[in-house]
Structure 1
Amino acid sequence: MDPFTNFPVAHAPVLIVGGSMVGMTLSILLAKHGISGCITVERHPSTAIHPRAALFHPRTMEIYQELGLYDQMRAESAKSYDENSRVVAVESLAGKLIQTFASNINEGIENVSSAGRLFLTQDKLEPMLRKEAIQNGIDLRFSTEMISFEQDDKGATALIRSVESGEKNIVRAEYLVACDGVRSSVRDKLGIKVNGHGLLSHSLTIYFKADVSKYLEDQYNGVIYVNNPTVRGFFRIDRTGQQGFLVVFTAGKQGTKESRFPADNVTDEQASEYLRAAIGNESIQVQIESIAKWRAVCDNAQRYNVGRVILAGDSAHAMTPQGGYGGNTGIQDVHNLAWKLALLINGRAGRELVEQTYHEERFPVGQKTVNQVLERYVVRSAPEMKKSVDYLEEELPDTWLELGFRYHSSAFMADELGELNEDPLVATARAGSRAPHVYIKTAAGDSSDASPYPISRLCDGNFVFVLGEKADQWKQAAQETNSCMDLPQVIPYKCRGRDFLIRYGISPFGAVLLRPDGFVAWKTWQDPVPGVVAASVLRDVMERILCLNGKESLQAVESINPHSAKTISNDLSVAGQEKKTQVQFLDLTLT
């Protein structure tokens, strides 16, 4: 019997399977991009009940700035954590300091981002996301699971079921996005294998209450790694010193097989012993609130999509908690994906923008991050594994991973590929990189009253054309291109400031095109050379970025300046295309 018959059918642009942190963030992003009617299903009855995923990176917080949640998250974080805390390693809370990994997790961040790192547990964040989703009219269904799905060239069909009532429904969607976690059933059905290192340990998280305040120094320790003969893992303790959780990776004699399976058959009594050993006080009174068991792995899916079914978050990549990269990488997955889905669903982009460039851009980031997290796992929590791991990368600075990754895909007009990661402090707006952090102020006429704000906030779901103060031809090109695309006229502002030109690597005649996600799509050092029509170049660039494929043509973009692509042979002409996307032109007054 066909499972996709005899049930009510609901239609949605996107079906999101998994309504945790990553899935809800995707649903909100899609709503902000104007895509309504999406359905999100989550098999659990409510948002997270355990305080997981506590560290959020600057790039992630920039995304939540865009969604208007940043201030609320900071206020909630401040109730339990110090935003300028340390990351250290100790023998135990009562024992000696082994190493300081970071004396202040936000030191120097203001030079590369408008948003700092902060600690906020998942059980505090997800209710905020749920409230925001509801306010945006999102169809968010808890206690609902997906039983099966299939796809064709037009979309995906899924059978979903209420966990409570057993009632079944069909959802027909243009795209299905799987945010269903490490044990993704969607990934398994697609037959996607993972690149990884196997099971690192069978670990556990112990949620506890105990007065450990006397062991905390004046400068609050946000993450405290513990390494002693009994237990290896880390603490995260709230600022009162009265409660927190202990992650145990390995226990007992290092290097033995048994040490890698501390969660096997663990009891409250054994968990209390682990906790007291990590505290360094055998007689301290502890209360075990709960114990969560989980598999420590560092894996990356070999494909991030098959056709119209897409993986995001833990279903695409699984990581141990070191550095908090798992949740952050997932949120950045869906930020990359949401604007592409929105343009495609609205008929303003080709399918390759989603079905090709999402994998091209996010897979290398996922693989690099998995490799770097493995290095941190071994160095910080399992040094005995150095001999058994096939290959261990050299550790990159955190900001290079969090802010300095560079996309390589067909949706960029890049002069050269370059390294996957770079120092965001010296980045110069190469195509594929995040727009370098500068503060600007925009003001009409001669007004100077506007408050400065980060350039990353300009995009807000649009393409933004940032120009040098003498780039009149590119200004005209943007206006003509918008007119040709039947889009509203854009608002011009005046650009001043040599710092901006130096940081973005252009002359006063140059221009930088930013994507809706704040990444540099293309830039040119100067005016087009004589004989090249700027509007034609910009139109070709946009059509390349949006994967709008028509008849093949060779464009003269390479002749603009030596920083452009050497040869560009694109399927760029789109005859009769009615719906396009907007290039928002802004001249910027620099502070």
Structure 2
Amino acid sequence: MQRTSVLVIGGSLVGLSASLFLAWRGIDLVLVDKHHGSSAHPRAMGFTETTLEHFRAVGIADRIPAEPANARLRRAKVTSLCGEWIEETDWTPGKPTQRSAEVSPCTGAAIAQDKLEPILREAALELGADMRLGVEMVSFRQDESGVVARLRPRDGQPEYEIVADYMIAADGAGSATRATLGIACSGVGYLRTLRSVLFRCPAADAWLDQGIRQFAIEQPDFRAFLTTYGDGRWVLMFEDDRERSAQELEDAVTRALGRDLPFEIITTGRWEMAGRIADSYASGRVFLAGDAAHQLPPTRGGFGANTGIDDAWNLAWKLERVLTGTSSPALLATYDEERRPIGWLRHQQTFSRPDYASWTGDRFIPEPLFDNDAMEFGQLVRSSAVISATDELPAAASPVQWAGQPGTRAPHVAIQRRGQAMSTLDLFGRGYVLLTADPAWRSVADALPIELVMVGEDVTFPDAESFPKHFGVGPAGASLVRPDGIVAWRASDVADVAALPDAFARVACATRRDSAQGVGR
């Protein structure tokens, strides 16, 4: 019987990202996917700054074409692409569409899913991931010691079993893993089934010069949604589940374009519009990620795929620490604690926006909307792995408002390290990091498995006030940041130096061995 530390089920965006993040951390893993490659219909398009920050941390951001700085995803209501453009519409009414360039070292990426997946696959393979495409999981069982999965190669080879310490189920909205575990879902539920047609029309790209990428087609007897993958491919989405003949598809594309442009139909799609959040993201040694945990419709905020990639980033470092014995298994309980509320936040924000509010009817009560900076950079996570993320705090706010609040992503500040320009975010990713400008923290930090970064000595901030201002501490205070870049704890001044060991042991769910082994500087 074969063995691995982590078995990943599903080889799409989230499964590939989980494999990449785990392999980068040196964790042995096997990924299985019943498909042999990416879907002919690329589906997701557009990846956020946070997603690119994760890819930057593992060293592959330069492989992914970035959007221009200050780019924003714009939408217009039109009679057709080449016809009358009636008005531009906002994603979040009354809020700026673009996100602030000052809060991240990254821009988003306008790349189609079927072009991003090979990049992730190749990078994970380079780092030692074992990927088995054309292999499906038939069944699995688990006990206190691990997960046993029965796998079936789809080329007729014999079935076999593999034992894993943990399993990540990234097997989509219809997750068989979730069903086997008996985990139900809540949310607005099923809304309707829609159809789409993918076609190639490079000539239509000339209408993208104004920066608008999404078009709501409104004609007296024809309504549809048109958007581009930015590479000559376009997708037209219908508002019904009617199967159309080849001629009907061609006629619909022509009407949406509004001019007799040459095009080639590539394939069609059929997908379910729904809002479902799993009632638990974990059961025993099995964790749900991506659409298996939260099914959300396409949005201009990228709440589907990007949320799933963020799931994988949150889970990977926790699995590493538990598998290496530096944290107790209690750390893994924080995955559900932290990520399920984020899934719910994005569910509520999606269906509270005008794009989807009309579909939900009386089954959903809209909530106040957060702006784009808050949703992308300012979501709050609460769990036992964070100190002082209290219930009174909002679910999201801008990074400027948070100013290094525990439970939020550490602030991005442009700094210098050994004469090299970098972001504060580049300091994080591997282990716990303590940032401070006061040497009084040195002796305590050096006795713990924490990397101590001295402000003014190891790194230089733009000015003397920059570190306290952005991280919300006094000049002699300190900020403890987790391996995933989330602030775990902070102290306003040196009076709290003695509290650091207990704070670290608590947020890291540290084992006695890890608490006693310092890493120094």
Same fold (TM over 0.5): yes
**1:383 Cα deviation from its structure 2 partner:** 6.2
- Whether 2:382 is the aligned partner of 1:408: answer yes
| 8 Å Cα contact 1:111/1:425 also seen in 2 | no
2:244 to 249, 257, 266: 266
2:306 matched to 1:328? yes
Match of 1:33 in 2: 25
- Measured against aligned partners, the alpha-carbon deviations of 1:68-104 in whole angstroms (never above 9, x if no partner) come to 22121116x79xx995563333343112333232799
Please name the residue that 1:97 is paired with.
86
Q: 2:428 matched to which residue of 1?
A: 459
- The answer as to 2:12 corresponding to 1:20 is yes
Residue 489 (structure 2) pairs with residue 512 (structure 1): no
> Deviation of residue 512 (structure 1)?
0.2
Q: Distance in 2 between matches of 1:314 and 1:583?
A: 39
Residue 107 of structure 1: CA displacement? 4.3
CA contact (8 A) 1:195 1:301 kept: yes
* Alpha-carbon distance, 1:211 to partner: 5.9
Task: Answer whether contact 1:374 1:392 (CA < 8 A) is retained.
Answer: yes
Instruction: Report the alpha carbon displacement of residue 221 of structure 1 after superposing the two structures with TM.
Output: 1.9
Mapping for residues 401-440 of structure 1, pairs under 5 Å? 401-414=375-388, 416-417=390-391, 418-440=393-415
Contact in 1 for aligned 2:445/2:452 (Cα 8 Å): no
Assess if the C-alpha contact under 8 Å between 1:87 and 1:101 holds in 2. Answer: yes
Q: Which residue of 2 aligns with 1:236?
A: 227
Cα distance, 1:543–1:268 mapped onto 2, change above 3 Å: same
Q: Could you say which residue in structure 2 is the equivalent of 1:528?
A: 495
Preserved contact between residue 506 and residue 525 of structure 1 (Cα < 8 Å): yes
Q: Provide closer, same or farther for how the CA distance between residues 117 and 97 of structure 1 changes in structure 2, counting only shifts above 3 A.
A: farther
Does residue 296 of the first structure (1) align with residue 265 of the second (2)?
Answer: no
Aligned to 1:157: 148
Shift of 1:375: 3.0
1:208 CA displacement: 1.0
One-letter identity of the residue aligned with 1:405: Q
Q: What is the Cα deviation at residue 297 of structure 1?
A: 0.9
Residue matched to 1:59 = 50
| Superposed displacement of residue 231, structure 1 | 4.5
1:359 aligned onto 2:336: yes
Counterpart of 1:499 in structure 2 is 466
2: CA distance, partners of 1:582 / 1:74: 41
Cα distance, 1:54 vs structure 2: 0.8
Q: Which residue of 2 aligns with 1:578?
A: 513
Partner AA of 2:217 in structure 1: V
Q: Which of 172, 176, 186 is 2:167 aligned to?
A: 176
Change (3 A) 1:544 1:488: closer
Aligned positions of 1:554-573 closer than 5 A = none
**Offset at 1:489?**
9.0
Closer, same or farther in 2 for the Cα pair 1:207/1:544, shift >3 Å? same
Contact in 1 for aligned 2:448/2:516 (Cα 8 Å): no
Q: How many residues align?
A: 512
Q: Does the 8 Å CA contact 2:70/2:99 hold for their aligned counterparts?
A: no
Q: How far apart are the structure 2 equivalents of 1:146 and 1:386?
A: 35
Match of 1:398 among 350, 372, 375: 372
Aligned amino acid, residue 344 of structure 2:
Q
DSSP-derived class of the 1:578 partner: helix
Distance 2:96 2:54 in 1: 19
Q: What does residue 316 of structure 2 align with?
A: 338
Q: Which amino acid aligns with 1:493?
A: D
The answer to whether the 8 A contact 1:479-1:490 is kept is no
Contact 2:7 2:166 in 1 (8 A): yes
Task: Quote the residue 1:124 is aligned against.
Answer: 115
SS at match of 2:400: coil
TM-aligned CA deviation for residue 176 of structure 1: 0.7
Q: Is the 8 A contact 2:41 2:268 kept in 1?
A: no
Deviations 1:374-411 (A, max 9, x none): 234xx23x664364443122332222111110100011
The RMSD of aligned alpha carbons is 2.8
Cα distance between partner residues in 2 of 1:90 and 1:238: 19
Q: Offset of 1:105 from its aligned partner?
A: 9.4
- CA deviations on 1:318-352 (whole Å, 9 max, x unpaired) are 11112221000000000000000000000011111
1:578, CA displacement in angstroms?
2.8
Partner of 2:444: 477
Distance in 1 between residues matched to 2:221 and 2:384, nearest whole Å: 51
Of 336, 352, 359, which residue of structure 2 is paired with 1:375? 352
Q: Secondary structure at the match of 1:330?
A: helix
Q: What is the deviation of 1:460?
A: 2.5
Give the letter aligned to residue 249 of structure 2. A
The equivalent position to 1:317 in structure 2, one of 278, 294, 297, is: 294
- Equivalent residue letter for 2:485: G
In structure 2, the partner of 1:569 is none
Give unpaired runs (5+ residues) of structure 1: 1-8, 251-261, 444-449, 549-573, 587-591
Aligned mates of 1:29, 1:214 — CA distance in 2: 35
Separation of aligned partners in 2, 1:314 and 1:239: 25
Q: Is 1:542–2:504 an aligned residue pair?
A: yes
Higher mean C-alpha displacement, 332-341 vs 168-177: 168-177
Q: Write out aligned runs for 1:379-390 (5 A).
A: 379-380=354-355, 384-385=358-359, 387-390=361-364
Task: Give the aligned residue type for 1:527.
Answer: V
Change (3 A) 1:332 1:494: closer
**CA offset at residue 505 of structure 1?**
1.1
| Alignment counterpart, residue 349 of structure 1, candidates 312, 319, 327 | 327
Contact 1:466/1:585 (CA < 8 Å) preserved in 2? no
- Deviation (angstroms), 1:44: 0.1
CA distance in 2, matches of 1:181, 1:361: 20
For residues 315 and 276 of structure 2, what CA distance do their matches in structure 1 show? 21
Deviation of the 1:58 alpha carbon: 0.8
**Aligned residue in 1 for 2:254:** 276
Aligned residue identity for 1:16: V
Is the alpha carbon distance of 1:504 and 1:48 closer, same or farther for their aligned partners in structure 2, counting shifts above 3 Å?
same
CA distance in 1, matches of 2:403, 2:412: 10
Cα distance, 1:27–1:387 mapped onto 2, change above 3 Å: closer
The 8 Å contact of residues 435 and 453 in structure 2, kept in 1 or not, is answered as: no
Q: Read off the aligned partner of 1:98 and give its amino acid letter.
A: E
Q: Which amino acid aligns with 2:367?
A: E
1:13 match: secondary structure: strand
* Aligned-partner Cα distance in 2 for 1:581–1:476: 14
- TM-score normalised to the size of structure 2? 0.91
Cα drift, residue 225 of structure 1:
3.1
Larger RCO (CA within 8 A; separation ≥ 6): 2
Aligned to 2:198: 207
Identity rate, percent: 29
| Distance of 1:332 and 1:109 partners within structure 2 | 20
For the 8 Å contact 2:349–2:369, the answer to whether it is kept is yes
Alignment equivalent of 2:236, drawn from 235, 246, 267 = 246
